[in-house]
Chain A
Amino acid sequence: MKKAFVLGLTLVLAMAGAGLCLAAEPIKIGLMAPVTGSWASEGEDMKNIVNLLAEEVNAQGGLLGQKVAVVLEDDAGDPRTASLAAQRLATQGVKAVIGTYGSSVTEASQSIYDESSILQVANGSTAIRLTEKGLKYFFRTCPRDDEQGRVAAQTIRQMGFKKVAILHDNTSYAKGLADEGNALLKKDGVKIVFFDALTPGERDFTAILTKMKAAKPDAVFFTGYFPELGLILRQKKEMNWPVPFIGGDATNNPDLVKIAGKVAAEGYYFLSPPVPQDLPFEKTKAFLKAYTAKHGAAPGSIWAVLAGDGFLTVVEAIKATQSTDPEKLAAFLHSGQQKISGLTGEISFNAKGDRVGEVYRVYRVDADGNFVLQDK
């Protein structure tokens, strides 16, 4: 009898032990990031942010009683490497994947994750088509390219400009943004008095400026990149033409002020997702402080912070559904009422998997050449 009891107890303990062993098996979340290649600085920040967030989750007891393990694969910022990385992650039993940065790189991995029924949350891929394919498991925490056009049109209208000149540089990004802004502004009754493109790499834009000045716009919407804009602002100043310029996020670079000079750059407005230091949330400030303490510097761009938001999205979805079943996670994220508290504010997704809500902010260059976040 006693023997049988001991035997029974041992059996129960063994089973419990086996159960414990199962519980100790971590939930794997993949991270696909460009840790080498030309976007390596972004990839490095993405890796550090997601790892730090995972440490925090584990310190608070993990997920569903299990630890979270981040599995990193390098996409090198290259579509071919990314498809191999995606295949490796898919065979390692990850429940979801965060990443990645470049649109073309993300695109190369999308169908692999979709076929393996793995949730993917991209962080820097803004190309419109990525969420137009109807993929069930694909989400992104960054805005789409057409969102910027919408915010630009709204800002220009709010500033009260009635006659606007639009200047792009014929690259697919800049032309797309210019077309988007053009259509939206026209619909709002704003008159487009000038719509044309400059040639990137040139230095003399006085001919364009003279022509634009003759069209007498209230403001100029510039959708190109910062090297040309720096020269334009400078030559505009030399012409003594005080028209305000509003630009897109490709002009968000400190070199802009160096090229234009502080005097010419002052008063320039541009749209951009906020730089990490400008995120107003207490939670984010605490996180960035911990991050800076650990890595010596704050993350360089918003795109890496959005990878952190991708991780938080997955964690919250697992918590809410008490499951790692991709069907349930995707259904939860598509429901449109999650209101996940992320580093860049509240995160919700629409039926396509695009993030809902405004990410773009308006910045103004001040007299010292600093980019100052404007109140809405």
Chain B
Amino acid sequence: MEEFFQQLTNGLAVGCIYALIALGYTMVYGVLKLINFAHGDLFTLGAYLGLTLLTSLGLSGRLGPLLGLLLLAVLVMGFVALTGALLERAAYRPLRQSPRLSAVVSALGASIFLQNTIMLIYGARIHVYPQDILPKVALEIGGVSIPLVRILVFVVSLLLMGALFLFIQRTRLGTAIRAAAIDQAAARLMGINVDQVILIVFLIGPGLGGVAGLLVGLYYGQVNFTMGWVYGLKAFTAAILGGIGNIPGAMVGGLILGVIEALGAAYISVAWKDAIAFLVLIVILIVRPTGILGERVADKV
């Protein structure tokens, strides 16, 4: 039983990261019906920017670990959000009226461009985060050990997801985003500035992805320029699992995917854990084609 709970926390930690990244996919899809393939690379950018800022500014040394990391997270979020907005302006807005396939190709191009830019700036070798930022302590609850970094990942992800949920549900801007997601033309007729809504979506999604990159860097300590691919793929899967376009769905999908992976590895086979996760995805999509929380029929892919 101890092992079960340990595996559950293992899965939830991975799932939180998937969920944070999945939010970026699902928000963009919700409003633009576009899969932003460059999202995984924005996540990588967050991990690298975090490393640069951490080593060059020495924030955690000057302000203490907690305040320093908070400031770092805000900085990374800001930079990556800005990159996301620039990306939207340069790669997606000119293609707003074009067939959807053009935008998808543009997204793939942006992904390759970002990945190679990161490689050219930082080099192809593996980079390592400094190891002494957070104290290496673990919480022991009934034989289940949870390291402090993992608790940080949990708390930060849940706080960010909660804040996003409230923002979408309770504020005027959030309402505007939901309206634009349902029907862009109608939203425009209601006086909603759809271009502004899209810009905000491209600030929030990549911002969250960037923070996820920072968390991965802090948690695992190792970053390389291709890391966005694996995480991007898993997060995209999580978004579909939860129902793409649906924000709570992305959160639920991410957590479920992480837990399925961990339990599949634990009780069936480690080598087959991805196959198990995707099998579950297929079964869920057969039973519920719109994903776990998806409501609208996915008529456009």
Q: Residues of A with Cβ closer than 8 Å to B?
A: 170, 196-199, 201-204, 206-208, 210-211, 214, 227, 230-231, 234-235, 238-240, 255, 258-259, 261
Contact = CB atoms under 8 A, between A and B. Distances in A.
27 contacts: A196-B269, A196-B271, A201-B226, A201-B227, A201-B229, A203-B216, A203-B220, A204-B10, A204-B220, A206-B262, A207-B10, A207-B266, A210-B7, A211-B270, A214-B3, A231-B220, A238-B138, A238-B147, A239-B138, A239-B145, A240-B138, A255-B125, A255-B126, A258-B126, A258-B128, A259-B126, A259-B128
Contact of A208 (B6, B11, B128, B265): B265
Interface string B95-111: 00000000000000000
Nearest to B6: A210
A166 to B, nearest CB: 12
Q: Which of B128, B147, B222 has the most CB of A within 10 A?
A: B222
A210 to B, nearest CB: 5
A357 B138 CA distance: 47
Contact of B221 (A198, A202, A207, A234): A234
A258 B127 CA distance: 9
Top 7 A-B residue pairs of the complex, sorted by shortest distance between their CB atoms: A197-B271, A196-B270, A207-B265, A206-B10, A207-B262, A203-B220, A261-B131
Nearest to A260: B221
Contacts of B145: 239-240
Interface of B is mostly: helix
Interface in B218-241: 220-222, 224, 226-227, 229-230
B33 interface: no
Contacts of A197: 270-271
B273 interface: yes
A198 B128 CA distance: 21
Contacts of A239: 138, 145
A198 B3 contact: no
Nearest to A264: B131
Contacts of B131: 261
B271 A206 contact: no
Nearest to B270: A196
B230 A201 contact: yes
A202 B230 contact: yes
Contact of B11 (A203, A207, A214, A259): A207
B10 A259 contact: no
A235 B150 CA distance: 11
A341 B219 CA distance: 50
B147 A204 contact: no
B14 interface: yes
Nearest to A241: B145
Contacts of A235: 220
A198 B270 CA distance: 6
Nearest to A261: B131
Interface string B10-51: 110110000000000000000000000000000000000000
